[in-house]
Amino acid sequence: MSRRTLPFLKKLVPGVRSTMITSRSVTYMPRPGDGAPRAVTLIPGDGVGPLVTGAVEQVMEAMHAPVYFEKYDIHGDMKSVPPEVIESIKKNKVCLKGGLRTPVGGGVSSLNVLLRKELDLYASLVHCFNLKGLPTRHDKVDIVVIRENTEGEYSGLEHEVVPGVVESLKVITKFCSERIAKYAFEYAYLNNRKKVTAVHKANIMKLADGLFLESCREIASKYPSIQYNEMIVDNCSMQLVSKPEQFDVMVTPNLYGNLVANTAAGIAGGTGVMPGGNVGADHAIFEQGASAGNVGNQKLVEQKTANPVALLLSSAMMLRHLQFPSFADRLETAVKRVIAEGKYRTEDLGGGSTSQEVTDAVIANLD
Amino acid sequence: MASQIVRRIARSSRSKYASLGNPSLLDRSCSQSAASNSNLIRATLFPGDGIGPEIAESVKQVFKVAEVPIEWEEHYVGKEVDPRTQSFLTWESLESVRRNKVGLKGPMATPIGKGHRSLNLTLRKELNLYANVRPCYSLPGYKTKYDDVDLITIRENTEGEYSGLEHQVVRGVVESVKIITHLASLRVAEYAFHYAKAHGRERVTAVHKANIMQKTDGLFLKCCREVAEKYPEIKYEEEVIDNCCMALVKDPSTFDVLVMPNLYGDIISDLCAGLIGGLGLTPSCNIGEGGIALAEAVHGSAPDIAGKNLANPTALLLSGVSMLHHLNLHEKADQIHDAILKTIAEGKFRTGDLGGKSTTTDFTNAICNHL
């Protein structure tokens, strides 16, 4: 069908370059039975979460993707994740999450962090890249930030020593540092990436970040074809805003990863468009890459102008993870086309459309 | 009885003023009335290493042409460890800063080796420098990708993640302790609001990660809120650090004064320096207990261009300007500031790092001509 519609479409849309419409001959060879529908746990979450997950559901429906969602309703202010949700994720192995808003200083630990620890999703990945047609101050950005997700500053071990003096423990272990370094280098190898940068503050936190760096160096020696360098986190943030093209894959402990990922997402176009996910040995949760500022934003909820692009691109990553690469390609192409055209863009990208309009545009642009 | 009450009120108001962290105002007026014969303010100057001496000369020249009433007391880093301070900085240098209450410091290269503390750490601990203030504004005429930056980062400098308390629990497991105290947080919050008020700033934003680190950053926020209530005319906001990073790179004009604990401050202040063109253009000032202000240039000592008359003195000059503001010599400060901005805006005389070909002396002379 695509071969017949291809020249027809080209006539209809004169400005579109041929590189954007991909016509594939069969390169993926599935096993018989791979087309059986897969169950995916869906957690809409708080705030804009339901809006954006709704968008994904609509698009999946339109594509007739062999995926069906098991929806669970949890909110950020719950004390813990209900066991049936954990069971479902353990069964399905893949989950798509909108966003859970953690109340600030409220005595409730973040459910996002709890989920990650419970399922041992130790790597968080955010892919920040320039999208064609989206004007940003920086171009040539193509950074993948791989962040250790379980320990570091987010151990949650705090106590009040005496009134007015509080201590918080940052824990770094060789085990966790090694596995995140392994994941980072393996990712770089599998995705043809040339350089891995370790981000740290070992000049001040000599033992903690020193241990992290040691693990990275050990693993780096096993991948001689991949360039490895180290950069202190404050210098790194400075370089990110002035010369982001020097970065390729970045591996960081927990807190720095959060900052670096959000900064990289900001320079490449905003957190509304960057895909990402959390992955562990057995499970994966896909969500908006860098989720700063979006989940609890009431205005976006009321006006229904949340940007669904990030979650749509993350669901494309999810489709590839589930081994439905052709559907993933179609989805990604459609989204990129919508962004490039520029007609339907939500507020954070400088447009005025609602989430629904963007979703409809994506569906219309599906091959 | 009435006189006792009056005396008690006077004492409490004076101590309240002192606890605001700016007794320099009080001290200055006292010392000026006392020492009316010499109007020169003594300030300590640490030229530093590498390009330090050249840029310090620049500063001295510009200040002389502008007729700034400052008398410099120069101190150099020693070649041997002074046993009284456990570092290469001598006791005399530290005493000089304590006495003069103002100083200007060039870049110091900490020699690699054991048996002594880092120079910056020594200064910070001995002089109790609790707040690091970095004004970041886009320099007109020097184009970066961001044109509308005008913000100030105030970073707590003594505790937080940089307490240096780490230990190995068992092999392969390391713990690092982050400490937040009520006293230090209150101190830096007080300074931030005082600074905002003194410089006519409208908003103070506290940057934190209290959704994850609830007790530590929660305490920091509590102190900021306490101080915010005393300054109802200044708008107070709180922002989680990842939102802040993202908003800073998307639209830095939404921020005014940022106050934060140590680690976040380090990262955010360097990020803001990156927005305006790098560390070679960023001034910085460290505030200590008792009204001590040590302005410093935060870039490195650049040993590869040392002595070649190629260094860019802008950072040290702008730090000198913030030192003058601290001394309430606002007219002179603005004069020199305008001269610097004009020179850079013109674009005729620019040093290598700004994309030009001038030497340090040419650049300095151009600034003096603009005064």
The stretch A244-267 carries a mean pLDDT of 92
- Which single residue is written with the structure tokens 């007219």? B331
Q: Among B12-26, B241-255, B269-283, B295-309, which stretch is predicted with the lowest mean pLDDT? A: B12-26
Identify the pLDDT of residue B11.
41
Cβ of B267 and A154 within 8 Å?
no
Cβ of A105 and B181 within 8 Å?
no
- Cα angle A233, A250, A138 (rounded to 5 degrees) comes to 80
Compare all CA atoms of chain B with the CA of A201 and give the residue at the minimum distance.
B263
Q: Report the residue from A105, A235, A290 with minimal CB separation from B270.
A: A235
Cβ of B271 and A263 within 8 Å?
yes
Q: Is the pLDDT of residue B148 over 50?
A: yes
Cβ of A292 and B243 within 8 Å?
yes
Is residue A295 within 8 Å of residue A101, measured between CB atoms?
A: yes
Residue A200, phi-psi category: left (phi > 0), alpha (psi -120 to 50), beta (remainder): beta
Q: With contacts defined as CB-CB under 8 Å, which chain A residues touch B209?
A: 153, 255
Compare all CA atoms of chain B with the CA of A177 and give the residue at the minimum distance.
B172
Answer with the residue of higher pLDDT: A60 or B16: A60
Q: Report the residue from A160, A242, A266 with minimal CB separation from B215.
A: A160
Query: How many C-beta atoms surround the C-beta of residue B200 within 10 A?
Result: 6
The stretch A64-75 carries a mean pLDDT of 92
Residues 6+ apart with CB under 8 A from A8: none
Answer with the residue of higher pLDDT: A183 or B309: A183
Element (H, E) at A301: helix A298-303
Question: Mind listing the pLDDT tens digit for each residue in A163-217?
Answer: 999 999 999 999 999 999 999 999 999 999 999 999 998 888 888 999 999 999 9
Compare all CA atoms of chain A with the CA of B112 and give the residue at the minimum distance.
A203
Is residue B200 within 8 Å of residue B187, measured between CB atoms?
A: no
Q: Is the pLDDT of residue B13 over 50?
A: no
How many residue contacts between A and B have a Cβ separation below 8 Å? Answer: 182
- Per-residue pLDDT band for A351 (boundaries 50, 70, 90) equals confident
The pLDDT > 70 percentage for chain B reads: 87
Q: Is B159 on the interface with A (CB under 8 A)?
A: no
User: Dihedral sign, CA of B193, B197, B198, B200?
Assistant: positive
- Per-residue pLDDT band for A290 (boundaries 50, 70, 90) equals confident
State the nearest Cα–Cα gap between B167 and chain A, in angstroms: 7
Q: Report the residue from A110, A166, A172 with minimal CB separation from B215.
A: A166
- Per-residue pLDDT band for B26 (boundaries 50, 70, 90) equals very low
Identify the pLDDT of residue A222.
95
Which among B180, B195, B155, B189 is positioned nearest to B286, based on CA atoms?
B155
Q: How far apart, in whole angstroms, are the C-alpha atoms of residue A120 and residue B211?
A: 21
The stretch B35-45 carries a mean pLDDT of 70
Identify the pLDDT of residue A331.
94
Look up residue A230 and give its two tokens.
Answer: 């180290």
Q: How far apart, in whole angstroms, are the C-alpha atoms of residue B144 and residue B162?
A: 31
Phi, psi for A346 (deg, rounded to 5): -80, 175
Question: Mind listing the pLDDT tens digit for each residue in A96-115?
Answer: 998 887 776 555 567 888 88
- Which single residue is written with the structure tokens 């009284």? B84
Identify the pLDDT of residue B304.
82
Q: With contacts defined as CB-CB under 8 Å, which chain A residues touch B266?
A: 201, 233-234
Q: How far apart, in whole angstroms, are the C-alpha atoms of residue A275 and residue A287?
A: 7
- Per-residue pLDDT band for B16 (boundaries 50, 70, 90) equals very low
Query: How many C-beta atoms surround the C-beta of residue A199 within 10 A?
Result: 28
Q: How far apart, in whole angstroms, are the C-alpha atoms of residue B243 and residue B7?
A: 49
- Per-residue pLDDT band for B25 (boundaries 50, 70, 90) equals very low
- Per-residue pLDDT band for B116 (boundaries 50, 70, 90) equals low
State the nearest Cα–Cα gap between B253 and chain A, in angstroms: 15
The stretch B10-28 carries a mean pLDDT of 39
Cβ of B174 and A233 within 8 Å?
no
Can you give the three-state secondary structure of B86-153, one letter per residue? Answer: CECCCHHHHHHHHHHCEEEECCCCCCCCCCCCCHHHHHHHHCCEEEEEEEEECCCCCCCCCCCCEEEE
Q: Is B240 on the interface with A (CB under 8 A)?
A: yes
User: Dihedral sign, CA of A304, A310, A316, A318?
Assistant: negative
Determine the residue among A259, A288, A291 to mutate to test chain B binding: the one whose Cβ has the most chain B Cβ atoms within 10 Å. A259
Identify the pLDDT of residue B207.
94
Whole-number average pLDDT of chain B: 83
Identify the pLDDT of residue B286.
93
Q: Among A99-108, B82-91, B331-340, which stretch is predicted with the lowest mean pLDDT? A: A99-108
Determine the residue among A108, A247, A263 to mutate to test chain B binding: the one whose Cβ has the most chain B Cβ atoms within 10 Å. A263
Q: Report the residue from B173, B221, B273 with minimal CB separation from A105.
A: B221
Q: With contacts defined as CB-CB under 8 Å, which chain A residues touch B146?
A: 137, 241
Element (H, E) at B6: helix B2-19
State the nearest Cα–Cα gap between B6 and chain A, in angstroms: 33
- Per-residue pLDDT band for B280 (boundaries 50, 70, 90) equals confident
Q: Report the residue from A170, A205, A293 with minimal CB separation from B243.
A: A293
What is the strand order of the sheet A123-129 is part of? A67-71, A38-45, A94-99, A284-288, A275-279, A123-129, A142-148, A249-252, A195-200, A227-232
Q: Residue B78 gets which letter from DSSP?
A: -
Query: How many C-beta atoms surround the C-beta of residue A230 within 10 A?
Result: 18
Compare all CA atoms of chain B with the CA of A172 and give the residue at the minimum distance.
B174
Q: Report the residue from A208, A259, A261 with minimal CB separation from B267.
A: A259
Q: How far apart, in whole angstroms, are the C-alpha atoms of residue A21 and residue A16?
A: 8
Characterize the bridge pairing of strands B283-288 and B292-297: antiparallel
Look up residue A240 and give its two tokens.
Answer: 């990110």
Q: How far apart, in whole angstroms, are the C-alpha atoms of residue B78 and residue B116?
A: 12
Look up residue B201 and give its two tokens.
Answer: 């700033």
Identify the pLDDT of residue B22.
43
Which among A231, A223, A257, A122 is positioned nearest to A176, based on CA atoms?
A122
User: Dihedral sign, CA of B73, B79, B80, B81?
Assistant: positive
Q: Report the residue from A158, A159, A241 with minimal CB separation from B249.
A: A241
Q: Is B120 on the interface with A (CB under 8 A)?
A: no
Residue A107, phi-psi category: left (phi > 0), alpha (psi -120 to 50), beta (remainder): left
Whole-number average pLDDT of chain A: 86
- Which single residue is written with the structure tokens 């990402």? A276
Question: Mind listing the pLDDT tens digit for each residue in B175-234?
Answer: 999 999 999 999 999 999 999 998 899 999 999 988 888 889 999 999 999 999 999 999
Q: Is the pLDDT of residue B35 over 50?
A: no
Q: With contacts defined as CB-CB under 8 Å, which chain B residues touch A210?
A: 174
The pLDDT > 70 percentage for chain A reads: 89
Q: Is the pLDDT of residue A139 over 70?
A: yes
Q: Is the pLDDT of residue B272 over 90?
A: yes
